[in-house]
Amino acid sequence: MAEIEISHEQGVCTILLNRPERRNALTIAMMEDLGAQLARIAADDAVRVVILTGAGKVFCSGLDLAAMGASPTEPALEAALIEKVLAPLERLPQPTIAAMNGDGLAGGCELALHCDVRIATAETRLGMPVARIGIVVPYPLILKLLEVVGSTVTSELLLTAEPMSAARARELAMVNRVVEAGELMPTARRMAETMAANAPLSLRAMKQAILAGRAQRAFDPPPAVRAAAERARTSEDAREGLGAINEKRKPRFQGR
């Protein structure tokens, strides 16, 4: 059974993250497969709209560091997520809908934020809990949060590391709609079909204009920001954070 499943129906392409036993956490193989699928979709004029969703009860829990035998302090993994998945997803010429069937955390939250529209179930939570393991959200992804929810909410999400309910996310325009679980895919499908019925060149032109406006943000962090992130990435606290996860205990951070 494929971990990335693609289906097509009447101009709507549905991408399913199909690894529910691991909360749809992304591996390198999944990121490479998803990146290749996104490239094919971008070149397919028959695809009018894309829906991204997950199998089971979780949308995506981010990177599967345990399966990759990797550390969250590994910058190559952050680069892979951004370059193979998030940037191509955001740049798709077709409109994209994140149908969040459950929690979107860390990279899973960013996966949803890089879609054009987000629909969540009432039980869904969105969050960026990376401070709990002593690391830093990559600068381009902090910019994405700032773009979507502004500095105040970004500060709350990043500094508390607490997930946000779908209801609150809806109040803050972080998601467009909140529905009951049984209505998620029907709602996403209806929205996709509404979009797909519109003139495809108009949809692509307007999305291109939106992307151009977003591109005004800079992606290279200032030197001081880069240095602070690197210090956190290579700290004893970062190693302690990962160890605490593996040992199922509360981390003991020392600030070094």
In a domain, 34, yes or no: yes
- Measure the CA–CA gap between 69 and 105, rounded to whole angstroms: 20
- Residue-wise pLDDT for 175-215, tens only, equals 999 999 999 999 999 999 999 999 999 999 999 998 887 76
- Measure the CA–CA gap between 250 and 256, rounded to whole angstroms: 17
Q: What is the pLDDT of residue 222?
A: 72
Cα–Cα distances (Å) from 204 to 35, 42, 47, 201, 215, in that order, read 20, 11, 11, 5, 16
Query: Which residue intervals of 64-138 are DSSP H helices?
Result: 65-68, 75-80, 87-91, 107-113
Q: What is the pLDDT of residue 216?
A: 58
In a domain, 227, yes or no: no
In a domain, 252, yes or no: no
DSSP secondary structure code for residue 198 in this structure: S
In a domain, 16, yes or no: yes
Q: What is the pLDDT of residue 250?
A: 84
Residue type, 85: V
Question: Is 39 strand, coil or helix?
Answer: helix
Q: What is the pLDDT of residue 107?
A: 93
Quickly tell me which residue has 């699928």 as its tokens.
37
In a domain, 206, yes or no: no
Residue numbers of the chain with a pLDDT score lower than 50: none
In a domain, 12, yes or no: yes
User: How many structural domains comprise the chain?
Assistant: 1
Domain that holds residue 64: 4-181
Give the domain CATH number at 31: 3.90.226.10
In a domain, 77, yes or no: yes
Q: What is the pLDDT of residue 213?
A: 79
Quickly tell me which residue has 């909360």 as its tokens.
23
CB of 137 within 8 A of CB of 108? no
In a domain, 156, yes or no: yes
